[in-house]
């Protein structure tokens, strides 16, 4: 007998018929003798419907009120799942964020969970009930309704699992798990059986959109084992957990890519302290998020190059700022490219294995792909390349690192 938290996402609860499928899976887990807390998202399409209403009401809907509106989606789902479970003869109660004190800060639309009242949930479990919880929502100190951002129900599930010290947190979704790369561009892509939190964080933030990044941070912080799996069949998915000794055997876990990249380089600017600060102050004042930043000395004495990447949407504004500052600072040139991609290799094994970087660069070179920028972290190497080479780069890296064999 275990204590399990399950989370079902939007496509798993697209209509009432799907709720019945979810209920059957919940009941099966319960009848295996487990205590069970089930977190649900809004029905597929519901959040978009509510957002449309909000933008009809105002082009810039008030943050606080938008959260009150959006929270109804998960509230309805939790009630419907409880109704279905009850009609199948199982004792159940649904709970909203404020009812089990999913406490958050007051950052409407992207609130962070600060606490969960485990005692209330334990009391229901002791009564033999299945507890259904509306995901995505919480309550701030003043009693206002808050929401956790897209994918926030993942974080709700992990936070509850952490508060209850649950044995397992299962995230049911419409994919089979986390893959070594996107199967739609690389036929050898392979489901990863076990992956560490750190790797998952790098994978998620780099575009493998399976779990909300914040939920992985939460799981890592509290040591919650997360099982990402499909709600449409019975197969095992991917276990996200503490790094294990075995994992280091696998040097690279996956190849991810992000095609929403643009690159600007301010070339040959007179090198003196503070030029980078001047420049990035201006960029951040325009509310633009910069990803990679590289500053290098130029070949010409006393000159430097500053290059950075931003998302394509921020490209025009960033370019304007760069051009104006380049003039001011006396830079010789501004190079701008807006069709870029970032390719990343992720793996905890990199910590103890050398040679990943050189193999990556060599593989790309062999395909004639020019590397425009490089950045590295402890468990990740990223290269910026021309976007048109994305698929080629992903496939050849995936093959070069033998990811098609699987790591399980």
Cβ closer to its own copies: 91 or 362? Answer: 91
Distance CA 310, CA 288 (A): 8
> Would you tell me how many other CB atoms lie within 10 Å of the CB of residue 336?
15
> Would you tell me how many other CB atoms lie within 10 Å of the CB of residue 165?
11
Cβ of residue 212: shortest distance to its own copies, in angstroms?
23
> Would you tell me how many other CB atoms lie within 10 Å of the CB of residue 83?
16
Which residues here bind its own copies, judged by CB under 8 A? 16, 19, 50, 53-54, 56-62, 64-66, 68-69, 71-72, 75-76, 78-80, 82-84, 86-87, 93-94, 96, 98-99, 143, 145
Cβ of residue 16: shortest distance to its own copies, in angstroms?
4
Cβ closer to its own copies: 24 or 87? Answer: 87
Spell out the alpha helix ranges (H) of 88-172: 118-126, 152-164
Cβ of residue 61: shortest distance to its own copies, in angstroms?
5
Q: Could you tell me how far CA 144 lies from the centroid of its own chain? A: 26
Cβ closer to its own copies: 84 or 369? Answer: 84
E strand spans, 136-281: 137-139, 145-147, 168-173, 194-196, 226-230, 238-241, 254-270
Cβ closer to its own copies: 52 or 324? Answer: 52
Cβ closer to its own copies: 70 or 326? Answer: 70
Cβ of residue 138: shortest distance to its own copies, in angstroms?
14
Cβ of residue 111: shortest distance to its own copies, in angstroms?
16
Cβ of residue 144: shortest distance to its own copies, in angstroms?
8
Cβ of residue 165: shortest distance to its own copies, in angstroms?
24
Q: Which of 135, 121, 202 is nearest to 171 (CA)?
A: 135
Spell out the alpha helix ranges (H) of 223-368: 275-285, 315-329, 356-366
Cβ closer to its own copies: 63 or 167? Answer: 63
Distance CA 278, CA 359 (A): 37
Phi then psi for residue 243, to 5 deg, are: -60, 135
Cβ of residue 72: shortest distance to its own copies, in angstroms?
4
> Would you tell me how many other CB atoms lie within 10 Å of the CB of residue 286?
11
- Helix H, strand E, coil C: the string for 128-149 is CCEEEEECCEEECCCCCEEECC
Distance CA 121, CA 123 (A): 5
Cβ closer to its own copies: 42 or 393? Answer: 42
Looking only at the bridges linking them, the beta strands covering 373-377 and 380-386 are: antiparallel
């Amino acid at each position: 007998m275990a204590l399990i938290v399950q989370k079902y996402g939007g496509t798993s609860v697209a209509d009432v018929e799907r709720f019945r499928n979810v209920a059957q899976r919940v009941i099966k887990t319960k009848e295996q003798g487990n205590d069970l807390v089930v977190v649900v998202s809004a029905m597929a399409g519901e959040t978009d419907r509510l957002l449309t209403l909000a933008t009809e009401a105002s082009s810039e809907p008030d943050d606080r009120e938008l959260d009150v509106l959006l929270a109804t989606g998960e509230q309805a789902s939790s009630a419907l799942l409880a109704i279905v479970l009850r009609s199948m003869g199982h004792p159940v109660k649904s709970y909203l964020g404020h009812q089990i004190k999913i406490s958050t800060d007051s950052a409407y639309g992207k609130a962070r969970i600060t606490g969960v009242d485990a005692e209330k949930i334990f009391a229901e479990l002791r009564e033999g009930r299945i507890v259904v919880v509306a995901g995505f929502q919480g309550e701030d100190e003043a009693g206002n309704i808050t929401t956790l951002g897209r994918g926030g129900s993942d974080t709700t599930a992990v936070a509850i699992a952490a508060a209850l010290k649950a044995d397992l947190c299962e995230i049911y979704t419409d994919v089979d798990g986390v893959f070594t790369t996107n199967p739609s561009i690389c036929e050898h892509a392979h489901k990863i059986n076990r992956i560490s939190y750190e790797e998952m964080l790098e994978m998620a933030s780099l575009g493998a959109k399976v779990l909300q990044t914040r939920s992985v941070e939460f799981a890592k912080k509290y040591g919650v084992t997360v099982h990402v799996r499909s709600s449409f069949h019975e197969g095992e998915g991917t276990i996200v957990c503490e790094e294990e000794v075995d994992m280091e055997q696998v040097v690279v876990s996956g190849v991810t890519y992000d095609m929403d990249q643009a690159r600007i380089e301010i070339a040959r600017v007179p090198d003196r302290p503070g030029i980078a600060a001047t420049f990035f102050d201006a960029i951040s004042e325009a509310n633009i998020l910069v990803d990679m930043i590289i500053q290098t000395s130029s070949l010409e004495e006393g000159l430097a190059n500053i290059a950075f990447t931003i998302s394509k949407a921020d490209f025009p504004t960033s370019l304007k700022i760069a051009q104006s500052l380049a003039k001011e600072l006396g830079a010789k040139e501004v190079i701008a490219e807006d069709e870029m991609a970032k390719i990343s290799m992720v793996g905890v094994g990199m910590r103890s294995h050398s040679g990943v970087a050189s193999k990556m660069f060599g593989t790309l070179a062999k395909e004639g792909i020019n590397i425009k920028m490089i950045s590295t972290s402890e468990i990740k190497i990223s290269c910026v390349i021309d976007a048109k080479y994305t698929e080629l780069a992903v496939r050849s890296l995936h093959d070069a690192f033998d990811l098609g064999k699987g790591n399980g």
